[in-house]
Structure 1
Amino acid sequence: MLIRETPVFIDGPAGQLEALYLDVADPRGIVLLCHPNPVQGGTMTNKVVSMLQRTARDAGYITLRFNYRGVGQSAGSHDMGSGEVDDAQAAATWLREKHPELPLTLMGFSFGGFVAASLGGRLEAQGVTLKHLFMVAPAVMRLGGTDGLPQAGALSVIQPETDEVIDPQIVYAWSDALARPHELLKVAECGHFFHGKLTDLKDLVLPRLSN
């Protein structure tokens, strides 16, 4: 049976947010996915985000991906910072209100890695503990140090070794300086958009979701 996502609109701080929601039977948790830089064409249907969504689905998770303000049919205009985190928080609130009993996992790719990490820190400050945070080729240079990161829950950082958008050395140095427990997973011979390496990404994420 083919399971399809349902288009939904969520009330966001700058107007409605376009989103795709997938419910599954007997879910093990909920996953919110944050997409790449909208100025560079990033949307919720980005192929890396799509692979992450399918991987979460296959692991038995309810998923929600959404377009930031000014992307697709989402209202507003780009903020390129706290506004996108505000949008993610609205999406997380919508998802958690539908499934308050389920643990929350966040996933973010590129700019979305910054958004997911920042959101995780915000939610933790509000008493919400994440199950897992996945940062894929993350724009760590946008993070204000490591103070805003969530301190509880698992953290997996997945970095392509030949990333042409995010300098891998910046991510490695950030990881080295990070005091909280985490894992850094390097993907050999892989560029930023995981061309030809999407199955490698799935192979890294799927067992970590299945724990």
Structure 2
Amino acid sequence: MPEVIFAGPAGRLEGRYQPSKEKNAPIALILHPHPHFGGTMNNKIVYDLFYMFQSRGFTTLRFNFRGIGRSQGAFDHGTGELSDAAAALDWVQSLHPDSKNCWIAGYSFGAWIGMQLLMRRPEIEGFMSISPQPNLYDFSFLAPCPSSGLIIHGDADKVAPPADVQGLVDKLQSQKGITITQKTMPGVNHFYTDRIDELIGECSDYLDRRLRGELSEPRPKRLK
């Protein structure tokens, strides 16, 4: 898996990139948890998601937000990190101009960034939002949410309380034209302690079903 350095809004960004053998393969971008709480692109969940998409033929990229590892810049409370994610997608798309579709997967803080990027990029056709934190971050921009996706979390999560996540899910499930799939894992905390393999299994099952044409509604192409 090539180590890559590419230009970001606040300087270089460090990533890990695996191109597909197919020129028109979809792209997957994986976003890591909060930098101030140990979040990096080498987080076990981020790492496993990367290989989950890669094993299904996606061109896959994960990277460090600004100020983490070899990525330049300083933490910017989400605004700069959203710009980093957009720059990362721009970079991989520049290498794969025949890729028409994209997926985004984010964990915790990365889920919030990913959902914001989803609103800005019409080519993103699916998302995985793992343990989002609507108790801490504002998700009101999802009005409406433009793509179908998975929201997965644990019922023993004290960082992203289940009731708050449920409120977000209920709001999104009331919107027309998309299918929001929710999975609540019993006995699981925010860090998926001893349950990461099970988490990845749930995400894999969801992705496989989506690739078979399930769990989403046909949607008109959005204009950029």
Give 1:6's aligned amino acid: P
Structure 1 range deviating more: 165-174 or 134-143: 134-143
**Amino acid of the structure 2 residue aligned with 1:204:** E
One-letter amino acid of the counterpart of residue 184, structure 2:
K
Q: Is the 8 A contact 2:12 2:72 kept in 1?
A: yes
The number of residue pairs the alignment matches comes to 203
Relative to structure 1, the CA distance from residue 199 to residue 150 in structure 2 (aligned partners, 3 Å threshold; closer, same or farther) is farther
Distance between the aligned counterparts of 1:189 and 1:43, measured in 2?
25
In the TM superposition, 1:1-211 aligns within 5 A as 5-26=1-22, 28-102=25-99, 103-123=101-121, 128-148=122-142, 151-178=145-172, 179-180=174-175, 181-210=179-208, 211=211
**CA distance in structure 2 between the partners assigned to 1:150 and 1:44 by the alignment:** 29
How far residue 209 of structure 1 moved from its aligned partner, in angstroms, is: 2.3
Structure 2 spans left out of the alignment, 5+ residues = 212-224
What's the % identity of the aligned pairs?
A: 31
Describe the SS at the equivalent of 1:140: coil
Q: Please tell me whether the aligned partners of residues 117 and 150 of structure 1 are also in contact (alpha carbons under 8 angstroms).
A: no
TM-score, normalising length from structure 2?
0.85
CA distance in 1, matches of 2:30, 2:126: 12
Cα contact 1:59–1:206 (8 A) shared by 2: no
CA RMSD in angstroms comes to: 1.7
Distance in 2 (alpha carbons) for counterparts of 1:86 and 1:63: 19
Cα deviation, 1:116-157, whole Å, max 9, x if unaligned, reads 00111122xxxx231211100012345534334673332110
Letter in structure 2 aligned against 1:95: V
Residue 185 of structure 1 deviates from its aligned partner by: 0.9
| Contact 1:32-1:63 within 8 A present in 2 as well | yes
TM-score (norm 1): 0.89
AA paired with 1:116? G
* CA shift in 2, pair 1:79/1:167, >3 Å: same
What residue identity is the alignment partner of 1:185?
A: K
Amino acid at match of 1:38: P
Moved more, 190-199 or 87-96: 190-199
